[in-house]
Amino acid sequence: MSHLITYKNITISLSGKSILNIDQLDVAAHQCTLLTGRNGSGKTTLLKIISGLLKPNTANIHYQGLDMSWKQAKPYIQKDIIYLHQQPYLFDASVSDNIAYGLHRLGESKAVARQKVMHALQWADLSHLAHRSAKELSGGEKQRVALTRARILSPQLLLLDEPTASMDTDAKQQTGLLLQRLKSEGVSIIISSHETHTVKHIADHHLHIKDGQLETIEPSTDSDKVSVLKPSKKQSVT
């Protein structure tokens, strides 16, 4: 298994409290990793550090053959890694304009950008929403727009913070479908989730945060651990 990026010695304290103390995190290339942990265990914190949004106390990064500090790596990881909030934030603009947001940076011409947005909308079956105001969309629709907006930038790694929380079965299924497509396109994905059932079928690995540290949960024992973690209602999407 090849690694896309490796984080070593991640530590962070917030308000004087140590939140994470992780020796090593290898992100598998082109695969999907499930990240679990209790409420407040540090999932969001870890994803934000990985994506370069939150400064850790310490962290070393091995990426593209280089060993760097978090600060040195920040421009690279911000370019190649996209973080999606639990409830994605869409700008006060149309769906198309939201999806086009990151393209400005790439210096695409208007015509090329419009083409790309059109294709991206088709890819996500969102063409019918193109001109709707993004603020008016449902939670599930917002999630899919956010995924499309990320995908159009061809990221190496996509971080999803509880993507299916507070979604109905239909919306989960549609989001799951897009994630599956992204994975088959070679995008590496980390999904933090309580609802392990929803994403288990696309996850290749399972990491669990406990007491600020990462545990790898082997696939063989996966089902036991998962059922311990997630005793609530069963909803499977296949």
Ligand X SMILES: Nc1ncnc2c1ncn2[C@@H]1O[C@H](COP(=O)(O)OP(=O)(O)OP(=O)(O)O)[C@@H](O)[C@H]1O
44 forms part of the interface with Mg ion (CB under 5 A): yes
CB of 34 to another protein, least distance (A): 21
Residue closer to Mg ion (CB basis): 44 or 156:
44
Q: Which of 194, 193, 164 is nearest to 178 (CA)?
A: 164
Place of tokens 């020796």: 23
What is the Cα–Cα distance from 67 to 112, expressed in whole angstroms? Answer: 36
Contact 159, 47 (CB under 8 A): yes
Contact 14, 132 (CB under 8 A): no
CB of 127 to ligand X, least distance (A): 33
What is the Cα–Cα distance from 121 to 149, expressed in whole angstroms? Answer: 9
What is the Cα–Cα distance from 112 to 144, expressed in whole angstroms? Answer: 22
**Which residues inside 96-125 make contact with another protein, applying CB under 8 A?**
101-102, 104-106
82 forms part of the interface with another protein (CB under 8 A): yes
What does 88 bind: Mg ion, another protein, ligand X, none (CB cut-off 5 to 8 Å by kind)?
Answer: another protein
163 forms part of the interface with ligand X (CB under 6 A): no
**Which residues inside 179-238 make contact with another protein, applying CB under 8 A?**
none
x/- track of binding to another protein for residues 157-176 (CB under 8 A): --------------------
Residue closer to another protein (CB basis): 48 or 183:
48
Contact 191, 34 (CB under 8 A): yes
Give how many residues touch another protein by CB under 8 A: 24
**Which residues inside 28-57 make contact with ligand X, applying CB under 6 A?**
37, 39-45
Residue closer to Mg ion (CB basis): 43 or 206:
43
What does 51 bind: Mg ion, another protein, ligand X, none (CB cut-off 5 to 8 Å by kind)?
Answer: another protein
CB of 89 to another protein, least distance (A): 4
User: Where are any strands of DSSP class E within the chain?
Assistant: 3-14, 17-28, 32-37, 58-63, 66-69, 81-84, 157-161, 188-192, 205-210, 213-216
What is the Cα–Cα distance from 210 to 38, expressed in whole angstroms? Answer: 8
Residue 75 buriedness (CB in 10 A; 0-12 / 13-18 / 19+): exposed
Q: Which residues bind another protein (CB under 8 A)?
A: 48, 51-53, 78-79, 81-83, 85, 87-89, 91-92, 101-102, 104-106, 135, 149-150, 153
Q: Which residues bind ligand X (CB under 6 A)?
A: 14-15, 19, 37, 39-45
